[in-house]
């Protein structure tokens, strides 16, 4: 650790970089470590919390507890570091309910940033052994989108920036993965789901026909969806959609207006 920090420290002191971001385990943080990190120019610390459910942590052999996450988060903030937390969905023994409760408990720790990683099953791991034994089937991409879309919306509504949603694409990842939730544009899929659900909520009680949808111009691709998936879904329901942009609209805001009163 000291060798790595000493190599980066001169670039921070010279002003070439604003600071150092590191990621570590919740049970690896104490006052002595934080003193060293502070002196070395570290400004942001991320913790791999993954879950705040004790049973899920135990089943997945994480080696730390939810209390470790709480204690480490408190110390990091007391020392003045930016706090980042990471969680995983779809772990062995977890459910949508436990994952949502994990999100609520992590948000209560007031992190500055979040990373959300739906589980990707990797060959040669204990989870892969459980999969081959028929004891564990991680949610796939389509199954993971509704929950992760909810998590994204939840954290952003709490003022917590989600800086990563889904694993970064790489050749090694594609070669080693054997299941789970992976898509190179996973965040975009989740954002599109948020837009679709907001639109469907607005359309409740509306007859089929011509509809104008007002959204932020930066949200056009989110609203349309990959391969026009959202538009196709709405068309299948009998709606003829025309998109109107309004820069005053929020990121996920959707407003609808009828342009006819035709009943099908």
Q: Rounded mean pLDDT of 249-260?
A: 88
What distances in angstroms separate CA 258 from CA 228, 237, 240, 248, one per listed residue? 21, 15, 10, 20
What distances in angstroms separate CA 27 from CA 2, 160, 168, one per listed residue? 18, 23, 25
Measured in residues, the chain has a length of 264
Q: What is the pLDDT of residue 226?
A: 92
Q: How confident is the model at residue 261 (pLDDT cuts 50, 70, 90)?
A: low
Q: What is the pLDDT of residue 258?
A: 82
Higher confidence at residue 258 or residue 256? 256
Alpha-carbon gap, residue 173 to 210, rounded angstroms: 44
Is there a contact between 77 and 83 (Cβ–Cβ < 8 Å)?
Answer: yes
**Each residue's pLDDT tens digit, 69-126:** 999 999 999 999 999 999 999 999 999 999 999 999 999 999 999 999 999 999 999 9
- Considering only the C-alpha atoms of the chain, give the largest distance between any 2 of them, rounded to a whole number of Å: 71
Alpha-carbon gap, residue 132 to 125, rounded angstroms: 11
Q: What is the pLDDT of residue 262?
A: 47
Q: What is the set of domains in the chain, with CATH numbers?
A: 2-184 (3.20.20.70), 195-258 (3.40.1260.20)
Is there a contact between 95 and 144 (Cβ–Cβ < 8 Å)?
Answer: no
Residue with tokens 């385990």: 25
What distances in angstroms separate CA 94 from CA 57, 150, 241, one per listed residue? 9, 16, 39
């Amino acid at each position: 650790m000291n060798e790595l920090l000493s190599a980066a420290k001169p670039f921070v002191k010279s002003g070439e970089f604003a600071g150092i971001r590191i990621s570590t385990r919740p049970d690896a943080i104490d006052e002595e470590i934080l003193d060293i990190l502070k002196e070395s120019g570290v400004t942001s610390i991320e913790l791999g919390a993954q879950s705040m459910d004790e049973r899920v942590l135990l089943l997945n052999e994480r080696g730390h507890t939810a209390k470790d996450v709480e204690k480490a988060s408190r110390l990091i903030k007391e020392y003045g570091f930016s706090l980042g937390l990471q969680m995983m969905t779809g772990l062995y023994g977890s459910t949508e309910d436990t994952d949502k409760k994990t999100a609520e408990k992590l948000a209560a720790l007031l992190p500055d940033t979040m990373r959300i990683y739906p589980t990707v099953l990797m060959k040669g791991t204990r989870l892969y052994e459980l999969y081959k034994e028929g004891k564990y089937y991680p949610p796939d991409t389509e199954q993971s989108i509704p929950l992760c879309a909810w998590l994204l919306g939840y954290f952003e509504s709490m003022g917590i920036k989600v800086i990563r949603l889904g694993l970064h694409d790489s050749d090694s990842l594609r070669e080693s993965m054997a299941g789970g939730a992976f898509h190179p544009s996973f965040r975009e899929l989740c954002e599109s789901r948020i837009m679709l659900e907001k639109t469907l909520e607005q359309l409740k009680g509306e007859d089929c026909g011509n509809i104008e949808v007002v959204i932020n111009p930066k949200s056009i691709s989110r609203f349309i969806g990959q391969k026009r998936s959202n538009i196709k879904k709405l068309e299948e329901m009998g709606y003829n959609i025309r998109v109107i942009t309004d820069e005053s609209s929020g990121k996920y805001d959707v407003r609808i207006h009828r342009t006819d009163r035709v009943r099908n």
